[in-house]
Structure 1
Amino acid sequence: MARNGGVAWMRTTDKIDGYDLSTSDTEEVHVLAVDDSLVDRKVIERLLRISSCKVTAVDSGRRALQYLGLDEEIQKKETNGFDGLKVDLIITDYCMPGMTGYELLKKVKESSAFREIPVVIMSSENVIARIDRCLEEGAEDFIVKPVKLSDVKRIIDYTTTELREGEQREGARAKRRGINKRKQREGDDDLSSSPPSTLSSSTSSSPSSSIQSATAPSSPSTLDSPTRRLKMTSSE
């Protein structure tokens, strides 16, 4: 069966230490899929690959933390063998042994490096209290199994839009930082190239001295300091 002109999910699967690293021909959004059920994991993998996603699939919350580099115990003992692939989206089952999807969600949102990654929770039970709990903790969405292609398409479209807008915002911030730095350099050049002040140290207030005072270059102390510029930039 083929969708969108591709059969990427039927390609040979590459694995490293139990992780499924097979990818589709069109690699766009990289999704970390977490589910202890082999059947459910294969279903979500297939739907993601139909949607032209790159997929890394693991069978537990602990393995997901290991992949992200957030498992302190594993970090102390050994490296996980991965090259730090950027994760754009995490989709995890709620009910898993050892570490639930909710606990994984909390770990991700507590991390300064990964808290901005959208996390979607899947569950076979439509429990309102569970849904509210996950959404309050920062989950982007909550999907009731069986997961449908329309669910995945909606999530991927949202993630793609967020990634694009995030890149645009970062580009705008970088541009503003460049403009601020250029203005600062130009200000420094103006100060270094300006002639020495001809103002007299006398206390006389003749018209000529008043004119000289009015037209003299501004003192460095009156310019925006680098610290102040950095604060303005960071606030943007």
Structure 2
Amino acid sequence: MQRNIIRTRLHEAGIDNFLMAENCQQALDLAIKTAPDLVVSSMYFSDGTATDLVQQLRANDLSRDVAFMLISSEACHHTLDAIKQAGVIAILPKPFEFTHLLSALQATISYIEPDSEVIDNLDFSDKTVLVVDDSQTARRHISKVLENIGLTKLILAENGQEALSLMVNNQVDLVITDYNMPIMDGAALIEALRQHPTFCEIPALMVTSENNCAKLDGVRQSGVSALVDKPFDIDAVKQVLTRLFD
């Protein structure tokens, strides 16, 4: 029944080419075989969860860049955080508003089809971005989004300490960092940047699924230039980057 509801709403949005799966393994097999533009999934299946599915998709070279959308009534932060870290396009509540679906589909289009006109208008080609995240899948997802808006000079780090080391020998125009990381987290990284005589003026954008208001208030006070939620929304990122590089 849920599959039919989702298919009906997608049809209303103008999408009619569907493949249907009942569990994680079927979905993974179909994704590897057919390379779909988008996987739309609920959270729980007989053989696993959407988190299991997206992690398996990201681990396979044939499906690792497939756009992934979750539709779920799940509200547990810990459960949702795991799938956010894997790089999803959107998470829609159940039931979802049609306008939310349209926004998520637009984000999918921006993810899989870079807009050359947008890239030319923004002209970030001379900017170098340091992406800091302990998750390889998150780094890859953020990198793809940045490349789709013209930011192709990317340096990758797994934690704040590695990021600071890389900045010693590399010119960096923007730091995009996760919050929760081992060794040195995003908050500590931003504090270190703001106290460093060479790096203190470099814009720092934090991408996080953290919902602890006290922690986020501390990050804001430490000197973060902007906060962006996971999933990494392309339109929101374009607006922030346009402001930071204006």
TM-score (norm 1): 0.51
Residue 150 of structure 2 corresponds to: 52
2:144 alignment partner, SS class: helix
Mapping 1:152-171, distance limit 5 Å: 152-161=237-246
Q: CA deviation at 1:30?
A: 1.4
1:32 alignment partner, SS class: strand
Residue 66 of structure 1 corresponds to: 165
Residue 96 of structure 1 corresponds to: 181
Contact 1:92 1:101 in 2 (8 A): yes
1:3 aligns with 2:110: no
Q: Which amino acid aligns with 1:56?
A: I
Q: CA deviation at 1:57?
A: 1.4
1:37 aligns with 2:135: yes
**CA RMSD across the alignment:** 2.1
For residues 105-152 of structure 1, give each alpha carbon's deviation from its aligned partner in whole angstroms, at most 9, with x where no partner exists. Answer: 111111011100111112112221111101111101112211110122
Mapping 1:131-170, distance limit 5 Å: 131-161=216-246
Aligned length: 130
Structure 2 CA distance for aligned equivalents of residues 122 and 3 of structure 1: 21
Gaps of 5+ in 1: 9-24, 70-83, 162-236
Contact 1:51 1:152 in 2 (8 A): no
Q: CA deviation at 1:159?
A: 2.1
Q: CA deviation at 1:2?
A: 3.0
Structure 2 CA distance for aligned equivalents of residues 142 and 5 of structure 1: 26
Q: CA deviation at 1:27?
A: 2.1
Gaps of 5+ in 2: 1-111
Q: Which amino acid aligns with 1:55?
A: L
For residues 212-235 of structure 1, give each alpha carbon's deviation from its aligned partner in whole angstroms, at most 9, with x where no partner exists. Answer: xxxxxxxxxxxxxxxxxxxxxxxx
> Which structure is larger by alpha-carbon Rg, 1 or 2?
1
For residues 36-87 of structure 1, give each alpha carbon's deviation from its aligned partner in whole angstroms, at most 9, with x where no partner exists. Answer: 0111111111111111112111111121011012xxxxxxxxxxxxxx4321
Structure 2 CA distance for aligned equivalents of residues 135 and 26 of structure 1: 25
TM-score (norm 2): 0.49
Contact 1:123 1:143 in 2 (8 A): yes
